[in-house]
């Protein structure tokens, strides 16, 4: 077979037909997002649908119209549900139509954003500049847009390791480490830190799990003692992680005290602000995250409380050359030139692990320009007020119990009843949670706080309203009473 006998292109043979289907896609998706409140917050994928999607490799193609119809019938109706106004599980963002359009436009451009002289590089530079300004970082700081909080945090601690050690880590690797390294964070720190320790070849034991106080913040005095002990025993502390919005209950560490502690022992101070850091954009809530700008590095998601579509997060590094010193490479096939397309060929690739990078900056740029940072910040403030509202509702109900302080936008609570053991109450609350999810009314998630199973409500949804939380609290109380009564009848 020669090249003349193969198809000339993968482009459609009838562009007008594709245009019509494309218009229908836009209409359908706009209608779908507009009517999201009318559907269940979540529903399981039926076996019949799973069976339809269990297809062999499609060696022969189908029409775009047929493929799209399969999507409409069997894929679109069964998402995670995080676009729904009563989806409160984990820490999931919900997106906007502008962000969705931006992803379509970025995919159509299909830019390779390692660097190069192109509009996508200009836009990512501008978005990072906006992030530095909004987060209080200096103009000469560097940054990168990555897939999510885990990769943003890992990027930062890799930079921290290379910057804080007194030898060329990139050349010698961990074989050059004579004193085992230690990184510190509260026991509420997200599991990314363990992955980072594993990826750096340090092992999980390198992470020092610092106890928390009554407000679920790092106990800074205890951390100081742990650092002193480690130094005496021949370890090499190099980094402290401060949390701005812990996953379990939204706690914010005492960042000012952690900064002082890092200065005392000459350690790198990193802020994990996965969802909480963007409270800096909110007029009334920014005071809750003061001092995060003092960190040597920070990581935060834009697809959570920035209300942008997955995947987009940001890492900022205060030291101007630190990212490039950690990740930069210049093989002959990627050398930059003074002219042509290869001006600054690896501008962003030299700040992280990825060489091949998509145009994820476009959804941030379009969302922020269309919505305005003030409007986004006001939505964040609204979510904080909604968390306080749910906190009051829980405290007003004798059958409900708050399990952690509401520091930001997460409310952890449970149903309680006299005469039930801890194990029985845990089982009751787990059943309440599952019934709420399976009803399609709402999607809270779960956590365990001091051995108590908690219904966990994380509010990062710009579509939620006050009534959603009124009805959720009422539903937990009613389901709890029903479950306790049913258990009593079964045991009689």
Print burial letters for 52-74: b (CB count within 10 Å at least 16), e (below 16): eeeeeeeeeeeeeeeebeeeeeb
Longest dimension (CA), the chain: 84
In angstroms, rounded to a whole number, what is the distance separating the alpha carbons of residues 479 and 458?
A: 20
State the pLDDT confidence band at 6, using cuts at 50, 70 and 90: low
Main-chain phi, psi angles of 415, to 5 degrees: -85, 140
DSSP annotation of 35 reads: T
Main-chain phi, psi angles of 383, to 5 degrees: -60, -40
Beta pairing, strands 142-146 & 445-449: unpaired
State the pLDDT confidence band at 487, using cuts at 50, 70 and 90: confident
How large is the average pLDDT for residues 454-465?
98
The predicted pLDDT at position 8 comes to 82
pLDDT over 80 (residue 327): yes
Contacts of 367 (CB under 8 A, 6+ apart): 96, 98, 99, 102, 306, 307, 308, 376
Return the percent helix, strand and coil in the chain, to nearest 5: 50, 15, 40
Cα distances from 111 to residues 45, 334, 343, in angstroms, run 34, 16, 15
The predicted pLDDT at position 486 comes to 86
Q: Which of 300, 299, 305 is nearest to 285 (CA)?
A: 305
pTM confidence score: 0.96
Cα distances from 144 to residues 59, 327, 347, 354, in angstroms, run 39, 12, 10, 11
Q: Are 143 and 316 in contact (CB under 8 A)?
A: yes
Q: Which residue has the tokens 């998601």?
A: 301
In angstroms, rounded to a whole number, what is the distance separating the alpha carbons of residues 492 and 480?
A: 18
Q: Are 156 and 297 in contact (CB under 8 A)?
A: yes
Contacts of 365 (CB under 8 A, 6+ apart): 102, 123, 126, 127
| Six-digit token string for 336 | 């930059």
State the pLDDT confidence band at 132, using cuts at 50, 70 and 90: very high
The predicted pLDDT at position 379 comes to 98
How large is the average pLDDT for residues 77-82?
97
High-pLDDT (> 90) share of the chain, % = 95
pLDDT over 60 (residue 1): no
Q: Over the stretch 262-311, which tens digit does the pLDDT of each residue have?
A: 999 999 999 999 999 999 999 999 999 999 999 999 999 999 999 999 99
Q: Which of 260, 256, 229 is nearest to 244 (CA)?
A: 256
487 or 208, higher pLDDT: 208
- Rounded to 10 deg, the angle between the 361-371 and 373-396 helix axes is 80
């Amino acid at each position: 077979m020669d090249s003349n006998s193969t198809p000339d292109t993968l482009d459609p043979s009838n562009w007008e037909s594709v245009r019509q289907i494309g218009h229908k896609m836009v209409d359908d998706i706009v209608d779908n997002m507009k009517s999201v409140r009318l559907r269940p917050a979540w529903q399981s994928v039926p076996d019949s649908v799973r069976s339809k999607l269990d297809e062999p490799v499609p060696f022969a193609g189908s029409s775009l119209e047929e493929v799209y119809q399969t999507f409409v019938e069997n894929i679109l109706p069964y998402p995670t549900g995080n676009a729904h106004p009563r989806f409160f599980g984990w820490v999931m963002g919900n997106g906007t139509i502008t962000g969705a359009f931006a992803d379509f436009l970025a995919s159509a451009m299909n830019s390779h954003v390692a660097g190069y002289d192109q509009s996508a590089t200009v836009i990512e530079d501008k978005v990072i500049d906006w992030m530095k300004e909004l987060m209080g970082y200096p103009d000469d700081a560097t940054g990168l847009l990555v897939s999510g909080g885990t990769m943003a945090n890992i990027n930062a601690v890799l930079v921290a390791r290379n910057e804080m050690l007194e030898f060329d880590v990139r050349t010698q690797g961990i074989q050059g480490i004579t004193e085992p390294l230690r990184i510190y964070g509260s026991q509420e720190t997200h599991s990314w830190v363990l992955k980072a320790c594993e990826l750096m070849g340090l092992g999980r034991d390198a992470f020092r799990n610092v106890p928390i106080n009554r407000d679920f913040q790092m106990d800074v005095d205890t951390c100081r003692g742990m650092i002193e002990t480690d130094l005496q025993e021949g370890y090499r502390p190099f980094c402290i992680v401060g949390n701005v919005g812990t996953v379990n209950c939204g706690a914010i560490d005492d960042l000012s005290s952690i900064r002082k502690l890092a200065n005392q022992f000459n350690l790198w101070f990193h802020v994990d602000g996965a969802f909480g850091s963007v409270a800096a954009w909110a007029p009334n809530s920014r005071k809750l995250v003061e001092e995060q700008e003092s960190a040597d590095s920070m990581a935060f998601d834009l697809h959570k409380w920035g209300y942008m579509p997955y995947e987009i997060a940001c890492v900022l590094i205060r030291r101007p050359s630190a990212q490039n010193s950690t990740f930069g490479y210049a093989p002959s096939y990627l050398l930059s030139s003074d002219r042509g397309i290869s001006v600054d060929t690896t501008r962003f690739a030299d700040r992280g692990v990825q060489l091949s990078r998509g145009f994820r900056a476009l959804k941030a740029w379009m969302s922020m320009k269309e919505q305005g940072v003030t409007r986004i910040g006001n939505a964040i403030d609204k979510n904080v007020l909604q968390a306080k509202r749910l906190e009051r509702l829980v405290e007003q109900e004798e059958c409900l119990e708050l399990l952690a302080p509401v520091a930001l936008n997460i409310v952890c609570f449970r149903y309680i009843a006299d005469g039930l053991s801890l194990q029985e109450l845990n089982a009751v609350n787990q059943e309440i949670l599952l019934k709420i999810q399976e009803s399609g009314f709402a999607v809270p998630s779960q956590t365990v706080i001091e051995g108590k199973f908690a219904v966990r409500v994380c509010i990062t949804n710009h579509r939620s309203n006050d009534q959603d939380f009124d009805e959720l609290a009422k539903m937990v109380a009613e389901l709890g009473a029903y479950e306790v009564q049913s258990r009593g009848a079964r045991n009689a």
